[in-house]
A and B are shown apart, each in its own frame.
Chain A
């Protein structure tokens, strides 16, 4: 079953075409890597799928809802974690989780136990009452991810979720992603780290607003006769004319 579908999705800002007729589909439960150099149009494309940005032309559906006309319905079924850490720094760990649970319409009584359960899984019970601003970045990111999937969305969009942290923390983060995928949550993730691309079920690589390659990491490596995803990426990124 396809949970994300894009057909000739395009976004222009004046003369500049940030996203140029992209078409792809993501299956339920898949970890879909969305790769591309800086400025290739990844974030813009993701923002359109999340209903934050209106497409100039083309069509897209997320969990069966039209991203242009039914963007509020789309928002109910997704979780989103932005590039910039966006939990409230002046709220405690549990207060942030409670807020996001509440605004997605979770039952008031169900929220408390769910927070305890989640923090226990994360091994984070001791920090329940910690103000978010005093957490280290790695933990902030894990917490932001947990908040994004706290309401059990069908799909979660992650925009460069592991920027700026050490490899060990990234590894731990990806374990959370696998857990979520195991529970049937579709994961749509952008990243710059090619080792992370290897963890995805399928990846697409964007160059200058267009999708230039889309397949499993294994097939892509075969297709480009490369040893790893890093080489695949370099071959494609070299074609870019924008920067």
Chain B
């Protein structure tokens, strides 16, 4: 019986003008584009410069700022008010004002003031831009101090230089962190949304009622709906892994088999979730919005964008109920640290729990009769 249903599902799958393309194009675009866009590194901070001093010190400070690569000097203003106007018109994010007599006060009094004003509408950019600028200035300050001290023939001030060693992602590439997680997001979309929409579509067309008067077991019917999307899940995963290798030069440190194994449990769990939705939704539109609501919540609670540890306590508690959290942890750990199965047992248990819970609920709530 399953055989005939599968024949039907696969024919319909490949005749659909949208679904097969989605299965290929979604992971491709997501893995190619999202890591570039979903990027919190702050570069290209636009700086408006007000230099009242125009001395050799102020010039070398400006040079140092430009050389850092984080800043574009988009505007040189004659006074602070004019510089502020460029911020208001969004042409600059940051103002660096160097007072007149900067060099002289610095040499004479060993102390001088600079002003940094940041546009904090985009708090991330304002904050990080300021931090970069402060670091450059303090570096500059250190250089000046040694220079001045040297002139006086005193002892050099010991300079602490901190070089952090970043394990697992040595160059702190954001793509390395994001790609595995985005892969999971795509998988959740394909394997959660599509089977749910498919079943609700049959409800809308009335064809499911025709199925319900046949002796087809509800379990058989559901399995026939899921199998094409499980296979699509593997296609999605394989495309994603290949593209991230080719484009992002990313290959899991751990075993691929670990990834596929955990992905299987995740797909099972998440498609089960899609089925639960399909049992309660009457129209495709309803199903779509219900899925959207839950998937977005799951994604925000998963640590995909912001680490779970940064969340307030209540949100951390809620994040335990996002299946995405566990699978994203698994992928990041396998990709970056090369974790093996024995280090991933808590995630394994959690994902199995979700799979049993959602699928159990789906089978129990599917009704052939009312």
Contact = CB atoms under 8 A, between A and B. Distances in A.
B215 A75 contact: yes
Interface string B47-70: 000000000000000000000000
Contact of B369 (A53, A99, A104): A53
A222 B368 CA distance: 43
Contacts of B206: 82, 84-86
Interface residues of B, number: 24
Nearest to A131: B15
A177 interface: no
B16 A90 contact: yes
Interface stretch (B3-11, B148-156, B312-320): B3-11
Contact of B210 (A51, A86, A101): A86
A131 B362 CA distance: 32
A103 interface: yes
Contacts of B342: none
Contact of B12 (A78, A80, A82, A88): A88
A71 B214 CA distance: 10
Contacts of A80: 210, 213
A114 to B, nearest CB: 14
A100 B214 contact: yes
B8 A52 contact: no
A54 interface: yes
B205 interface: yes
B3 A52 contact: no
Interface string B23-44: 0000000000000000000000
Contacts of A101: 4
Given A80-B213, A95-B11, A99-B7, A51 B369 contact: yes
Nearest to B1: A103
B95 to A, nearest CB: 62
Contacts of B214: 75, 100, 103-104
- Indicate the member of A51, A76, A82, A86 with the most B CB atoms within 10 Å: A86
B370 interface: yes
B154 to A, nearest CB: 86
A84 B202 CA distance: 12
Main secondary structure of the interface of B (DSSP, over half): helix
Contacts of B369: 51-54, 71
A105 interface: yes
B207 interface: yes
A91 interface: yes
B91 to A, nearest CB: 54
Interface in A35-91: 50-54, 71-72, 75-76, 78, 80, 82, 84-91
Contact of A87 (B11, B207, B216): B207
- Indicate the member of A51, A72, A85, A102 with the most B CB atoms within 10 Å: A102
Contacts of A50: 213
Nearest to A53: B370
Contacts of B210: 80, 82, 86-87
Contact of B4 (A54, A72, A86, A99): A99
Given A75-B214, A75-B215, A103-B216, A91 B209 contact: no
Interface of B: 1, 3-5, 7-8, 11-12, 15-16, 205-207, 209-216, 368-370
